[in-house]
A and B are shown apart, each in its own frame.
Chain A
């Protein structure tokens, strides 16, 4: 039996949607002499340039970028701009991983993490349903948060566990229903206890790891985890992998 219109490049591979949530709050502008945001921008550009050589990812993965600071923005690859989620056509926000040209991000403002997560869940769900409806062999989306901070409300006050509970519940409920896999990577002094409220088994501290290696780690995890597995099993695999990566990284640094 055959259907039209389900091509991805020239491949017939499974499709793997990924939503990357990037913290662009003011803390990412520190330290002043080497702002983390510059490091992130460099790593994103290099990583998405380099992915062209990675056949397995190139033929399967489609990606959507979300940034969060005082406001949540989604990268619209068409015009190449960060826009408010409701201004963009959800269908256009996911692009093949090798045609993503990430924008240059600036660090300023608060850390509206919960809003960003809620936006991402909605986009991931819509995309997944759209592709299923089009009979594309799509795997459940992966959502990855990269943050160095602590979630705050609209006034910049840190959120406590109670304020995070609603979003955390939605994340977990979706994972249980097989709608997505959600992972948080805390970098450079992130508030890990608070992040663990959001994702108890899916928060990996990768304090000093290069952003490029973090992206490698996450994208590779799409390849050796099976979507039928329990999300917590995938979290465990990513955490183990992150721990091994961090160990090798420490070893390389110590001997540098």
Chain B
């Protein structure tokens, strides 16, 4: 290795190993005393606009709208701190990017909350209460971003982070849609399974909006509260071939919105583990584009479910947490079927 990046003021950072790559960028460790990483984006569709986009985001970090978003520890956003370019070679050889906070310092990949095996291995203390807290943190973060005029555009587990207490962080800020004075920087990216129905199949370049973010939020909240299950999971019940989540989205194949539309294995978490108010929000979010709940509405409803007296811990062990609305434990029901989504640890078993 031996990549070096340099800022406009001439500060250089030596990059260490490549730690991740997405559809457009590559993330490298940075040799620095602070927890930093660098994202490099070779050949963006319009390099000049990309440089301007990063420069504007870096400048906005000092503006009141953004300062509030970045307050608190650990920081919730991997905001671009300084634009950089790779050093050496001719101008055409150099790749643009930026330095940002290394989210691994305080968080784990969000996907660790979404499968039983990863929860067990990496977040062993996580319960359904953790899932609720993470859903709340995510809804609050998105609501805060929307209030400040930012649109995420490509809200997916891949650019989210989480910890064992349910805190949530977000990266890939450079793909957001935002306005700076006269210029709008549009969002372009989308991820299958996290794209609102009105954007699926829309011409490339159709900009996202807060409502399409709110759809992705509902998908993620569903996955958190249903032990990873995607709200549009399932084989079409009409006997046709399965194609994709997006195809199910377009055809309204969703257990919560229309239980007869999909076939699901018996091991999936029961739909009635959700408190009634959240079920109602999901139905609106997943079935009706015009009545889709906003991030702020989600945050309010999720916070209410975390209020004292709303959660019950099952007699079988501290990992089985559920809403008081359900008289008996949904995780015990599932465990009886052979899949314990929140298994206890040997030392906890009495």
Q: Chain A residues in contact with chain B, CB under 8 A? A: 1-7, 9-14, 55-56, 59, 132, 135-140, 178, 216, 220, 223-228, 237, 241, 243-245, 247-248, 251-252, 254-256
Q: Which of B86, B228, B263 contacts A11 (CB 8 A)?
A: B228
Is B2 located at the chain interface by the 8 A CB criterion? Answer: yes
A137–B242 contact, CB under 8 A?
Answer: yes
A3–B228 contact, CB under 8 A?
Answer: no
| Candidate in B116, B157, B234, B235 with the most chain A CB atoms within 10 angstroms | B235
Q: Which residues does chain A contribute within 8 Å of B21, judged by CB atoms?
A: 216, 220, 245
Q: Which residues does chain A contribute within 8 Å of B118, judged by CB atoms?
A: 55
Is B43 located at the chain interface by the 8 A CB criterion? Answer: yes
Q: Which residues does chain B contribute within 8 Å of A5, judged by CB atoms?
A: 265
A248–B265 contact, CB under 8 A?
Answer: no
Please name the residue on chain B nearest to A98 by beta carbon. Answer: B117
B4–A255 contact, CB under 8 A?
Answer: yes
- Chain B nearest CB, measured from A38 CB (Å): 22
Q: Which residues does chain B contribute within 8 Å of A243, judged by CB atoms?
A: 43
- Chain B nearest CB, measured from A7 CB (Å): 6
How far is it, in angstroms, between the C-alpha of A254 and the C-alpha of B246 when the chains are bound?
A: 42
Please name the residue on chain A nearest to B1 by beta carbon. Answer: A252
Q: Which residues does chain B contribute within 8 Å of A12, judged by CB atoms?
A: 228-230, 233, 264-265, 267-268
B192–A3 contact, CB under 8 A?
Answer: no
Is B247 located at the chain interface by the 8 A CB criterion? Answer: yes
Is B111 located at the chain interface by the 8 A CB criterion? Answer: yes
- Chain A nearest CB, measured from B5 CB (Å): 11
- Chain A nearest CB, measured from B309 CB (Å): 31
Please name the residue on chain A nearest to B118 by beta carbon. Answer: A55
Please name the residue on chain B nearest to A243 by beta carbon. Answer: B43
Q: Which residues does chain B contribute within 8 Å of A228, judged by CB atoms?
A: 200-201, 243-244, 246-247
How far is it, in angstroms, between the C-alpha of A247 and the C-alpha of B86 when the chains are bound?
A: 12
B89–A254 contact, CB under 8 A?
Answer: yes
Q: Which of A3, A4, A251 contacts B86 (CB 8 A)?
A: A251
Is B147 located at the chain interface by the 8 A CB criterion? Answer: no
A255–B88 contact, CB under 8 A?
Answer: yes
How far is it, in angstroms, between the C-alpha of A45 and the C-alpha of B133 when the chains are bound?
A: 39
How far is it, in angstroms, between the C-alpha of A205 and the C-alpha of B3 when the chains are bound?
A: 24
> Size of chain B's interface in residues, with CB distance under 8 A?
56
How far is it, in angstroms, between the C-alpha of A138 and the C-alpha of B245 when the chains are bound?
A: 10
- Chain A nearest CB, measured from B272 CB (Å): 14
Q: Which residues does chain B contribute within 8 Å of A225, judged by CB atoms?
A: 192
Q: Which residues does chain B contribute within 8 Å of A248, judged by CB atoms?
A: 18, 26, 40, 42, 95
How far is it, in angstroms, between the C-alpha of A1 and the C-alpha of B265 when the chains are bound?
A: 8
B263–A3 contact, CB under 8 A?
Answer: yes
Please name the residue on chain B nearest to A131 by beta carbon. Answer: B242
How far is it, in angstroms, between the C-alpha of A139 and the C-alpha of B46 when the chains are bound?
A: 33
Is B60 located at the chain interface by the 8 A CB criterion? Answer: no
How far is it, in angstroms, between the C-alpha of A61 and the C-alpha of B230 when the chains are bound?
A: 17
Q: Which residues does chain A contribute within 8 Å of B201, judged by CB atoms?
A: 228
Is B112 located at the chain interface by the 8 A CB criterion? Answer: yes
Write 16 A-B pairs (CB below 8 A) sorted by A numbering. A1-B237, A1-B260, A4-B266, A7-B265, A10-B267, A12-B229, A55-B109, A56-B157, A135-B242, A228-B246, A241-B23, A243-B43, A244-B26, A248-B42, A251-B93, A255-B1
A227–B117 contact, CB under 8 A?
Answer: no
| Candidate in A14, A137, A226 with the most chain B CB atoms within 10 angstroms | A137
How far is it, in angstroms, between the C-alpha of A16 and the C-alpha of B319 when the chains are bound?
A: 31
| Candidate in A178, A224, A227, A247 with the most chain B CB atoms within 10 angstroms | A224
Is B317 located at the chain interface by the 8 A CB criterion? Answer: no
Q: Which of B112, B245, B259 contacts A1 (CB 8 A)?
A: B259
B117–A10 contact, CB under 8 A?
Answer: yes
Q: Which residues does chain A contribute within 8 Å of B86, judged by CB atoms?
A: 251
- Chain A nearest CB, measured from B186 CB (Å): 19
- Chain A nearest CB, measured from B203 CB (Å): 13
Q: Which residues does chain B contribute within 8 Å of A245, judged by CB atoms?
A: 21
A1-B259, A10-B116, A11-B228 are known contacts. Are A138 and B2 too (CB-CB below 8 A)?
no
Please name the residue on chain B nearest to A220 by beta carbon. Answer: B21
A132–B264 contact, CB under 8 A?
Answer: no
| Candidate in B191, B242, B266 with the most chain A CB atoms within 10 angstroms | B242
Is B220 located at the chain interface by the 8 A CB criterion? Answer: no
Q: Which 9 A-B pairs have the closest CB atoms?
A: A226-B192, A135-B235, A255-B2, A55-B111, A2-B266, A137-B242, A244-B42, A10-B116, A227-B244
Q: Which residues does chain A contribute within 8 Å of B1, judged by CB atoms?
A: 252, 255-256
- Chain A nearest CB, measured from B205 CB (Å): 14
How far is it, in angstroms, between the C-alpha of A243 and the C-alpha of B267 when the chains are bound?
A: 42
Q: Which residues does chain B contribute within 8 Å of A139, judged by CB atoms?
A: 242-244
- Chain A nearest CB, measured from B276 CB (Å): 22
Is B115 located at the chain interface by the 8 A CB criterion? Answer: yes
Contact with A along B226-270 (1 / 0, CB 8 A): 001110011101000111111100000000000110111111100
A255–B23 contact, CB under 8 A?
Answer: no
| Candidate in B2, B86, B115, B246 with the most chain A CB atoms within 10 angstroms | B115
